[in-house]
Structures are given as C-alpha cells and as structure tokens.
C-alpha cells in the first residue's frame, strides 16, 4: 500500500508543451521499470500547467526514486522549458481507492483538489477523508481516488475516471457533500478543485 509521495507542479513556456509531454513520457518509461514506484500520475491542469503525483510504500523507496541519477538528469533538461522553477511538495497518503486490474491503463480525466483546514479543525480532516473514501468505494464511475496531506493544515485529493461521463457522475454524487464539508472545516476560499486531463498513469491495483 502506498503511504508517502510527492506532487510536482510545473508551468511550461508557451509553445514548449509538446516538449514537456515528451519529457514526461521518458520519465514514465523509466518509472514503469521501477518496482519501488507503484504510483505515478502525470496530469495536465491547463494549457501550460502540469502536475505529477507519485507515491511509494515507504520513505526509503521515495528517497530511492528522488535520488535516481537518470531522474535528476531529466529534471535538469526540463528546467529550460519552464516559466519558473518547478515546485515539489512531500505528501502523506491518508486513503486510497485502487483501480481494478487493467483499469489504470484507461484513466483519462480527473479532479485534483487542494484545501486548508480551519485552525483547530486539522484533526477532523483525516477521518473526513476516510469517510470520503468509503463513499467513493461505492461509486463505480470513480476508478481511483487518493486523499493526502501536504502539511500541518494542507490537504488534497486526486480522483481519476475512465471518461467524462465518470467525472460527471462523481460530481453529481459528491458535489453537495463537498460544499457542506468545506463550509464547516476548510479555510474560506482555500478549496481549489481543478479538472485535469490524465496524460500518463501507473497505478497500483486492488
């Protein structure tokens, strides 16, 4: 089971998007050969904004991936394509719905969310995410889901779907509940939910 990971965000220069996607494909090819990297997902958040989320069973595997020489060389090559330096945050996986065998190859779209807990409400977020996990386990259109912690009060989720119909079904089933929770537990205005396109995905299977 995955327990720790990273999320990296990049903003690419106009006209360099295809070059960045090619670089991501090269990284993905290597990641597929890494048994210690069970989860790696690259998404496009807008025309020029991309993110990569990866996760590992333990801290040793995360360090092994980050310290890989070929990984660092590719990161250096990508830097010339970016508007500004990339940002990488460490995260802790708090809950996960894993895809059925074979489904990981077909995920195409998703939601990437980020939010901040109100002061004093941090301890309520983790059980809240576990409740969300229980709910999405009952949604067949939600192929995979990951809830994670980025800092003392910052949290996020990644939802993955086979197609736009699945994403819409998830929205219809969960949106009102998300808004209710946000009003009670999140800092006002901190909830950001982005619709993303999945470019590449290696996911652990249930």
For the stretch 36-79, pLDDT in tens is 999 999 999 999 999 999 999 999 999 998 887 777 777 777 88
> How many domains does the chain fold into?
1
Query: pLDDT tens digits for 121-144?
Result: 999 999 999 999 999 999 999 999
Question: Nearest-CA neighbor of 192 among 9, 3, 5?
Answer: 9
Cβ density class 149-159: b for 16+ within 10 Å, e for less: bbeebbbbbbb
pLDDT at 116: 98
Mean pLDDT of the 93-99 span:
95
What is the distance between the alpha carbons of residues 172 and 144, in angstroms, rounded to a whole number? 17
Token pair in block for residue 53: 């989320």
Residue 101: CB atoms within 10 A of its CB come to 9
Q: Name the residue among 123, 150, 166, 161 with its Cα closest to residue 55.
A: 150
- Give the C-alpha separation, 127 to 141, whole Å: 23
Q: Return d(Cα 60, Cα 65) in angstroms, integer.
A: 9
Q: Kindly tell me if the per-residue pLDDT of 188 is higher than 80.
A: yes
Q: What is the CATH number of the domain that holds 171?
A: 3.30.70.100
Q: Which distant-in-sequence residues (6+ apart) come within 8 Å of 98 by Cβ?
A: 144, 203, 204, 205, 206
Question: What percentage of residues in the chain have a pLDDT greater than 70?
Answer: 97
- Supply angle C-alpha 2, 7, 12, rounded to 5: 150
Region of residue 60 (phi > 0: left; psi between -120 and 50: alpha; otherwise: beta): alpha
Overall average pLDDT of the 89-115 stretch: 90
pTM of the model: 0.94
Distance CA 81, CA 172 (A): 38
103 band by pLDDT with thresholds 50, 70 and 90: low
Domain that holds residue 41: 4-202
105 pLDDT more than 90: no
Question: How does the average pLDDT of the chain come out, rounded?
Answer: 93
Mean pLDDT confidence for 92-118: 90
């Amino acid at each position: 089971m995955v327990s720790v990971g990273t999320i990296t965000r990049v903003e690419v220069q106009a006209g360099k998007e295809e070059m960045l996607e090619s670089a991501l494909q090269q990284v993905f090819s290597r990641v597929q050969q890494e048994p210690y990297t069970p989860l790696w997902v690259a998404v496009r958040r807008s025309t020029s904004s991309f993110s990569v989320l990866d996760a590992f069973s333990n801290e040793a595997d995360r360090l092994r991936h980050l310290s890989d020489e070929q990984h660092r060389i590719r990161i250096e090559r990508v830097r010339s394509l970016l508007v500004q330096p990339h940002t990488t945050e460490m995260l802790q996986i708090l809950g996960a719905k894993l895809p059925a065998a074979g489904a990981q190859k077909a995920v195409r779209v998703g939601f990437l969310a980020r939010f901040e807990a109100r002061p004093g409400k941090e301890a309520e977020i983790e059980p809240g995410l576990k409740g969300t996990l229980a709910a999405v386990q009952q949604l067949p259109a939600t192929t995979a889901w990951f809830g994670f912690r980025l800092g003392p009060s910052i949290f996020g989720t990644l939802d993955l779907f086979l197609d736009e119909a699945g994403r819409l079904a998830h929205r219809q089933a969960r949106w009102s509940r998300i808004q209710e929770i946000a009003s009670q537990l999140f800092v006002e205005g901190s909830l950001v939910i982005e619709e993303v396109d999945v470019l590449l995905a290696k996911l652990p299977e249930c």
